[in-house]
């Protein structure tokens, strides 16, 4: 303990002029540590082929099922991961293999059964989503319409990591379409 206090006194004297330096007081500890922001691509996204497109946060976008042009536009904007939530057996939904041919980045396939939404699975997806964002990945969340499953994951992420309240999320639902009751019920749990 004595050695620790001696070190503190030494640092204080160096910073405050007692050790021959400047007479202006200087704090030995910077109370605001430097934070390096997670790098994300900058630039607008051409939304052609991206139904119901929107930015959730820097590095995180959402949409309905992209067309081939939409996948190209996402790649050009720097998106390197598609979080595909719609199931392959849904009518009109391209297979993961087809998406992998149309999109130059990673296809992260996490199908959510719309008829039986598991809130615990959604929560796990959101935690992994945050970890990937912290690694610097630029991700587009997508399902068929960009309304229900996309809203579940995007809104849960916003409440857990984006600092939004349930009331704020609820007030924004009209922007992309109001999600089905099962999604609303799941979000109400958090």
- Where does 54-188 sit in CATH, by number? 3.90.190.10
pLDDT, tens digit, for every residue of 8-46?
333 333 344 444 444 444 434 444 444 344 445 546 789
Which position has the token pair 């540590």? Answer: 33
| Tens-place pLDDT, residues 80-121 | 999 999 998 887 788 899 999 999 999 999 999 988 899 999
Tell me the longest C-alpha to C-alpha distance in the chain: 78
By C-alpha distance, which of 131, 134, 182, 124 is closest to 156?
Answer: 124
User: Which of 188, 181, 121, 120 is closest to 159 using CA atoms?
Assistant: 188
Domains of the chain, residue spans: 54-188
pLDDT at 93: 85
CA 187 – CA 180 distance, rounded (Å): 11
| Beta strand ranges found along the chain (DSSP E) | 54-57, 60-63, 81-84, 106-109, 139-142
Rounded Cα distance between 63 and 138, Å, is: 14
CA distances from 90 to 58, 65, 129, 187 (A): 30, 12, 24, 24
């Amino acid at each position: 303990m004595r050695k620790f206090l001696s070190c503190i006194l030494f640092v204080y004297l160096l910073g405050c002029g007692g050790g021959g330096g400047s007479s202006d007081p200087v704090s030995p500890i910077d109370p605001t540590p430097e934070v390096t922001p997670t790098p994300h691509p900058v630039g607008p996204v051409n939304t052609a082929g991206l139904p119901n497109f929107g930015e959730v946060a820097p590095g995180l976008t959402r949409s309905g099922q992209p067309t081939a042009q939409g996948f190209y536009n996402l790649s050009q904007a720097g998106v390197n991961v598609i979080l595909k939530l719609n199931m392959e057996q849904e009518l009109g939904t391209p297979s993961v293999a087809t998406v992998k041919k149309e999109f130059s980045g990673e296809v992260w396939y996490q199908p959510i059964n719309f008829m039986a939404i598991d809130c615990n699975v959604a929560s796990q997806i959101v935690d992994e989503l945050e970890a990937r964002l912290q690694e610097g990945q630029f991700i587009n969340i997508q399902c068929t319409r960009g309304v229900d499953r996309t809203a579940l994951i995007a809104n849960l992420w916003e409440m857990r990591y984006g600092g939004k309240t349930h009331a704020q999320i609820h007030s924004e639902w009209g922007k992309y379409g109001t999600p089905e009751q099962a999604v609303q019920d799941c979000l109400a749990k958090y």
